[in-house]
Amino acid sequence: MNSVSPSAVQYVGGVGVVGQDDTFQREETRRPQQPQLVGPGRGSSFGNRQGTDVGGGRTREASTAGEPDEVDKLKTKLMSAWNNVKYGWSVKSKTTFNKSSPVTVMGHSYLLNSEDEVERFRRAFVSRLWLTYRREFPQLEGSTLTTDCGWGCMLRSGQMLLAQGLLLHLLPRDWLWPDAQQFVDVDFEALRPRSPSRAGGVPIPSFGYSSSSRTPTTPQKTSMPGGTALNHTQKKRPESGRDRQAEPLHRRVVAWFGDEPPAPFGVHQLVELGKSSGKKAGDWYGPSVVAHILRKAVAKTSEVHNLAVYVAQDCTVYKKDVVHLCDQSLNQSISDPEPSGPGWKSVIILVPVRLGGDSLNPSYIECVRNILRLECCIGIIGGKPKHSLFFIGCQDEQLLYLDPHYCQAVVDVTQDNFPLESFHCSSPRKMPFSRMDPSCTIGFYAKNKKDFESLCSAVCVALSSSEEKYPIFTFVEGQAQDYGLVGHSSSHPHSDTSPGPAHMLPQGKLSRSNTIGSSDDFVFL
């Protein structure tokens, strides 16, 4: 049994933060509801209760009338510690970043050798939407579940991928959350030359970022738009008034992912849309299935305008299919009483791939790293085997990610000024590329036709960096049917209700393998 130090379980501003996740060995195949520590006077020591915390996150029951808040916080820490021990998690208290090499977050790079750059990195990371397990939400239709703990991690990762695309679609590209929290338990390290006796580094002061720091130690800065690398000679702007003005849009996007049936991208809607793929609440969702669920969710809702989602087939993006999906002049109905005229829809492109057999093919690591450095990339949903994560960047040989495996109480997003803190993570986590599960879905966003053309060029350059003969995926001219593909196509609205069969490879294209993954349909690389 692993011991858990007090620093391994934190409670900051009402949001608990679990220690370094890159050492977690937990399998997601556990049952949705797990034993929970019950406080004194609540019956037996352990019970099978809904709304439990699976995986060491905060398991905080509603406070009883008159119960001191400090007591409630203490109970939260004890329950989190119990879950860490119960499920065998090995916990580290801090995440270390190398301050002598750049860290990438959503296509922007930061060299963490100054307080200004650390501040820019902090705001860029914390501004991403963090969507996690929730408990005590309305019962999912067709089940008795009121939590997605233990089975909904891939849906949550998919939500985060879509949320990043929506932020780019609706807010200024360089928008940052003005109220971003301070980092919790993060160290910045200057690495010395490696030697047989020493492979680590020397910790340096963490610029005032600790679990006890709740106020900024430097003026708030922001990353500069455009490009994948940061020009450190450019001026850094303070908090933008435009960022503050965009807060209603930020809050609206969060509300779309609320844990209630009407929310267009909430878990209730996603589970409902997954039924056509043979999935139900409590099932494991693979990254390919989630990609199609997200496409259907965007196509179904009337909340989001001028946005389409394209899901690649057999590791291939068919450019003409994207054009037909996005070019509104081609899709304009003659009988439409209010023609919109020529225009181009923004597009989120999702590419399900499998980067190896049972484990990641090391030859693709450099390619994945280069993709994450692209400004058009909105992240990768994948993770460790049966343990979904949302990858948003990298540093050296490690991936930077947001982890959905943290159970929080449901937030009523229908209320005015509902709290936003639990939708943003202040504790960045990393894991080695070598531990990445080969099954994943890569996301891209293009605002307009010019951006789409630039996306194709930039991604093709990144794909060519692979040491393998065959790239992770390809862009081809023409439509899917031009290559003899049958069945489902992301570009045809009538197919939104069907997941479609597995497809043939384009004629004349070499087959990488005829083996299909057990949890999802992929072409092996």
pLDDT in the model for residue 502: 32
| Cβ atoms within 10 Å, residue 26 | 18
Q: Which two tokens stand for residue 243?
A: 């960022």
State how far the Cα of 121 lies from the Cα of 127, in Å rounded to an integer.
Answer: 10
Q: What is the 3-state secondary structure (H, E, C) of 506-518?
A: CCCCCCCCCCCCC
What is the rounded average pLDDT of the residues 101-118? 94
For the stretch 324-375, pLDDT in tens is: 999 988 765 544 444 444 589 999 999 999 998 889 999 999 999 999 999 9
Percent of the chain with pLDDT over 90: 55
| Cβ atoms within 10 Å, residue 88 | 11
For the stretch 155-189, pLDDT in tens is: 999 999 999 999 999 999 899 999 999 998 798 87
Lowest-confidence region among 189-193, 213-217, 434-438? 213-217
State how far the Cα of 123 lies from the Cα of 183, in Å rounded to an integer.
Answer: 9
Residue 114 within any structural domain of the chain: yes
What is the rounded average pLDDT of the residues 226-232? 38
pLDDT in the model for residue 330: 79
Residue 410 within any structural domain of the chain: yes
Residue 50 within any structural domain of the chain: no
State how far the Cα of 315 lies from the Cα of 472, in Å rounded to an integer.
Answer: 7
Q: Position of tokens 């750059």?
A: 117
Residue 182 within any structural domain of the chain: yes
Residue 145 within any structural domain of the chain: yes
pLDDT in the model for residue 343: 86
Q: Which residues are catalytic?
A: 153, 403, 405
Q: How many domains does the chain have?
A: 1
* 3-state helix, strand and coil shares in percent for the chain, rounded to the nearest 5: 30, 20, 55
pLDDT in the model for residue 358: 87
Residue 502 within any structural domain of the chain: no
Count of H-run helices and E-run strands, the chain: 11, 20
pLDDT in the model for residue 463: 94
Q: Which two tokens stand for residue 214?
A: 């709740």
Cα radius of gyration (the chain): 23
For the stretch 233-253, pLDDT in tens is: 333 445 568 888 999 999 999
Residue 489 within any structural domain of the chain: no
pLDDT in the model for residue 92: 52
Residue 358 within any structural domain of the chain: yes
Q: Which two tokens stand for residue 94?
A: 């801090």
State how far the Cα of 167 lies from the Cα of 307, in Å rounded to an integer.
Answer: 12
Q: What are phi and psi of 494, to 5 degrees?
A: -65, -15
pLDDT in the model for residue 72: 59
- Residues with Cβ < 8 Å from 62, sequence gap 6 or more? 136, 409
pLDDT in the model for residue 74: 67
Range of the domain at 181: 70-196+233-483
pTM, whole model, 2 decimals? 0.72
For the stretch 477-513, pLDDT in tens is: 989 877 765 444 444 433 333 333 333 333 333 333 3
Instruction: Report residue 301 CA to chain centroid gap.
Output: 21
Q: Which two tokens stand for residue 255?
A: 């509300």
